[in-house]
């Protein structure tokens, strides 16, 4: 077969450069697998005069979006420029023009994924987005194809490399949060403004995407319970380790007949759980299916080439669809109505760390708060505090609802200083 497939690349930043490098270096391998030549015919850049480390011919560079989207010879649009509204507009216009689209944009897919997938179906073209979650881990394709015969009931994962790197340094090297963040920034794992990472929004977007796909339901970003990692207190890591846990910034999603629950927050993770061993910038997603049971995917969650690998994998899939004449034949209709599980129905065990007056009767008052809220304690540990006349109490609960937890927190604050609190995961896997 002597055929050439042309690509329009929107963006030549970290990921875009990686995509161009892989296509150039693997050109013969891709042609062998597809029976067709794949080439980048146009690249959208902001500045034509900028010096770039690429083998691309400078004649392919353009600052005009229209020059790419309106070119009938370009069959695949690859969006790796980032941002939300401009990227969304470009993807939408490309789909309306009947072009195949590949994107690495988690923000767009979390906010506009379902309407865009519906548009792709209507225009009989494909929208691929493997690189929008967990970098080089093929989690989207695993859920769509590898586990298509199963029904997923839960998933949880470390899906942000920046926060996992920070927590690894705090745990293994005793760094403070500020020291670990500075190191992550120095190495390029954290942006100059790391708020989307450390406040949990980046992971929340990814959990939204995975939940929609796993449960065939239109999950919404605003329904993810999000708590950032800035509330991790000095001493929490050491206490967690002593009790047999580590602290991980975890995205969790579960579904049953009562609805879907999604959260992103720092949790106490049992050290024996596979996710506890995921360190530095690596990501992992742990999945529970009715038939397969429990399985985990692990790999690099960010970086130019790992993420670009997922993008190029989607490009190859888009090429195959074109060559086989099956573009737009994969339906994206949702099977289930979307329902959010109320806080009364979200159950977990919890860790509470309190600073109290070291005097008779305090513990009785506090335990009465738990029993009055219908919660039972599985462990109470008293530790000396640095302040004279004070004591630290560590309380571990049996399974209680998130509403019970929040009600207890509100009452505890009237009698003690709540130093920190965490949901506990990994006691019984998912």
The residues that are catalytic are 206
CB atoms within 10 A of CB 114: 17
Report CA-CA distances (Å) from 251 to 133, 200, 275, 314.
Answer: 12, 9, 11, 24
Classify 152 as helix, strand or coil. Answer: strand
- Taking the C-alpha atoms of residue 96 and residue 214, their distance in angstroms, rounded to an integer, is 27
- Taking the C-alpha atoms of residue 7 and residue 5, their distance in angstroms, rounded to an integer, is 7
Look up residue 279 and give its two tokens: 């360190």
- Taking the C-alpha atoms of residue 81 and residue 105, their distance in angstroms, rounded to an integer, is 8
Sign for the CA dihedral angle at 38, 43, 48, 53 comes to: negative
Classify 204 as helix, strand or coil. Answer: helix
Element (H, E) at 29: helix 27-34
- Taking the C-alpha atoms of residue 161 and residue 189, their distance in angstroms, rounded to an integer, is 7
User: Residue 105, exposed/middle/buried by CB under 10 A (0-12, 13-18, 19+)?
Assistant: buried
- Taking the C-alpha atoms of residue 129 and residue 120, their distance in angstroms, rounded to an integer, is 13
């Amino acid at each position: 077969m002597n055929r050439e497939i042309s690509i329009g690349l929107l963006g030549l930043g970290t990921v875009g450069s990686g995509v161009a490098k892989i296509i150039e270096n693997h050109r013969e391998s891709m042609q062998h697998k597809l029976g067709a030549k794949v080439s980048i015919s146009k690249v959208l850049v902001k500045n034509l005069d900028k010096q770039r480390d690429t083998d691309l011919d400078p004649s392919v560079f353009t600052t005009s979006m229209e020059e790419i989207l309106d070119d009938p010879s370009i069959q695949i649009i690859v969006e790796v420029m980032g941002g939300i509204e401009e990227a969304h507009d470009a993807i939408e216009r490309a789909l309306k023009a009947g072009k195949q689209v590949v994107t690495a944009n988690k923000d767009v897919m979390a906010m506009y994924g379902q309407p865009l997938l519906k548009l792709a179906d209507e225009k009989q073209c494909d929208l691929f987005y493997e690189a929008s979650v967990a970098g080089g881990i093929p989690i989207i394709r695993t859920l769509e194809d590898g586990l298509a015969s199963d029904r997923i009931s839960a998933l949880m994962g470390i899906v942000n490399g920046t926060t996992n790197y920070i927590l690894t340094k705090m745990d293994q090297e005793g760094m403070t949060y500020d020291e670990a963040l500075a190191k992550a920034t120095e190495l390029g794992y954290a942006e100059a403004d790391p708020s989307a990472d450390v406040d949990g929004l980046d992971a929340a977007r990814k959990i939204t995407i995975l939940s929609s796909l796993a449960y065939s339901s239109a999950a919404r970003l605003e329904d993810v319970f999000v708590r950032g990692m800035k509330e991790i207190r000095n001493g929490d890591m050491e206490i967690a380790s002593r009790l047999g846990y580590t602290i991980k910034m975890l995205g969790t999603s579960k579904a049953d007949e009562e609805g879907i629950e999604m959260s992103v927050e720092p949790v106490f993770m049992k050290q024996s759980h596979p996710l506890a061993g995921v360190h530095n910038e690596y990501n992992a997603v742990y999945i529970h299916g009715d038939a397969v049971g429990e399985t985990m995917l692990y790999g690099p969650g960010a970086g130019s080439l790992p993420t670009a690998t997922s993008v190029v994998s989607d490009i190859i899939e888009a090429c195959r669809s074109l060559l086989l004449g099956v573009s737009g034949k994969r339906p994206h209709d949702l099977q289930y109505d979307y329902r959010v599980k109320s806080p009364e129905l979200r159950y977990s065990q919890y860790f509470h760390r309190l600073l109290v007056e070291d005097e008779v009767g305090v513990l009785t008052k506090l335990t009465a708060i738990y029993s009055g809220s219908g919660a039972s304690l599985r462990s109470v540990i008293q530790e000396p505090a640095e302040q004279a006349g004070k004591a630290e109490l560590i309380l571990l609960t049996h399974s209680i609802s998130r509403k019970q937890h929040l009600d207890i927190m509100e009452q505890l604050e009237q009698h003690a200083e709540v130093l920190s609190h965490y949901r506990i995961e990994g006691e019984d896997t998912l």
